Amino acid sequence: MNDDINSKNGSTGGLTRRQFGTAAAAVGALAAFGRAPAFAQGTTLKVGVLLPRSGLLAQAGQACQRGAEIAPAILGELGYKVEILSADTESNVDVARSRAEKLINDGANVIVGAFDSGQTAAAAQVCEQRGIPLVMNIAAADRLTEQGYKTVFRNFPTSTMLITNGLALMKDLFAATGTTPKTAVFLHANDTFGMANRQAMDAFFPKLDMPFTIVDSISYDPKAQDLSVEVAKAKGTGAELAIVTTRANDAIMMVREMVKQRWEPKGIVSPGSPGLYDEQFYKVLGKYADYAITNLPWYDPKAELTKRVEAAFKKQYPNDRFEGYAFNVAFTLEAILVAADAFKRAGTAEPAAMLAALRQTNLKDKMMVGPAITFDEKGQNTQLISACVQNRNLRPTVVLPKASAEMDPVFPAPGWGKRG
């Protein structure tokens, strides 16, 4: 019997009850998010991975992509089924926005990305409009989880967290080595990430009772051909410590210029930015890469997932060192794991169910050190902790906290001419 408008079963407008329920759900989704995407329901989660695989940030984006490429097999062993749809932002905010749209139109149930804060902000706007979950792999600008978005989740520290955790570890570094600088200069990129770190530094440095003063903050264009002027200005301050917020390309330019100008501060320390621990930094600079320090979240080498990821990485990329890619690989793979875990608990890729499951995340089996992955009401994981990672023998090496240290920290760093 047909459930038409004249039937005794109370259907409406010529629709079956099932059709009416589906239409009502679609209307509800449209009301909440503006435009509801079509989803392919099934047992596999389609993850749209949005990364800057070309352009200025290509090195980092390609490193993150490796985490995405090895994720399906690793997560499959753990009972998660994911399919990766990849898109290149070309290190461009507008391209990031359009590629996020295309990934959703191509059937992505969730977006993971996008390494850079500016590009991630563009993707977040699209995901909020379309009602699609966005799980950030790497992006630190505080505002990403401060704008009231209902679809964004970040398993990565904010700039405020990076700065406050990073500065606290500097105190531990000075105590462990018995050397405390009296002055510092802050050099930072003028992109979204760099300026967010500058704002966090300005806001929180005065409150943290640091044992040194910042004599100057110097910004620079990460797309510049050289940083000779900025390094000369920093050297001219006479600061004993260089605090930096960099990416790989500008970190290399900066250190090259420091060597050229024979500027030898007691150390180069980053409160959480990439660049100093990237594989390209070691390959290009050799011995000059050593002794630089980054205070940031780091992977637990003893974790079961880390062992699986390292084995898979070495199998797929036998000519590359896992350590030089591990940070980008780990946070990207964990972001995909967060999405897959929510999908498995929800039992569907339907947006409302996925978003509800993401809000209830409590993921203990992971790579990075620290407590289980959980999200607050803003979608931020506030439980992330940092380690002090120093380049030693051309390898990122944990030197603090002492319980996790692989070696003791060295500070001050040897001068450029005293390195083997």
CA distance 97 to 100: 5
Concatenating the DSSP letter of every residue in 173-237 gives: HHHHHT---SEEEEEEESSHHHHHHHHHHHHHGGGTT-SSEEEEEEEE-TT-S--HHHHHHHHHT
Residues 75 and 172 in one domain: no
Q: Is residue 147 part of a domain?
A: yes
Decide if 404 contacts 387 (C-beta within 8 A): yes
Cα 335 to Cα 50, 152, 230, 279, 359: the distances in Å are 12, 12, 36, 22, 14
Rg, C-alpha atoms of the chain: 23
**Domain residue limits at 91:** 45-157+301-359
- Under DSSP, is residue 316 helix (H, G, I), strand (E, B) or coil? helix
Summarised one tens digit per residue, pLDDT across range 260-309 is 999 999 999 999 888 898 889 999 999 999 999 999 999 888 889 999 99
DSSP designation for 47? E
Q: Is residue 8 part of a domain?
A: no
**Residue that finishes a domain, picked among 316, 339, 359:** 359
My answer on whether 206 and 75 are in the same domain is no
| Number of domains forming the structure of the chain | 2
Mark whether 183 and 314 lie in a shared domain. no
CATH number of the domain where residue 118 is located: 3.40.50.2300
Whether residue 2 is contained in a domain is answered as: no
State yes or no: pLDDT of 3 exceeds 80: no
Distance separating alpha carbons of residues 173 and 193, to the nearest angstrom:
25
Same domain, 402 and 258: yes
Q: What percent of the chain has pLDDT over 70?
A: 90
Residues 124 and 272 in one domain: no
Does residue 257 sit in the same domain as residue 175?
A: yes
pLDDT, tens digit, 9 for 90 and up, residues 209-242? 999 999 999 999 999 999 999 999 999 999 999 9
With 90 as the cut, is the pLDDT of residue 404 above it?
no
Which one is predicted more confidently, 393 or 19?
A: 393
The answer as to whether 209 is a domain residue is yes
Same domain flag for 185 and 124: no
Mark whether 55 and 152 lie in a shared domain.
yes
Asked if residue 214 belongs to a domain, the reply is yes
250, 352: one domain: no
Give me the pLDDT at residue 42, please: 59
Beta carbons within 8 Å of 40's beta carbon, 6+ residues apart: 46, 107, 109, 349
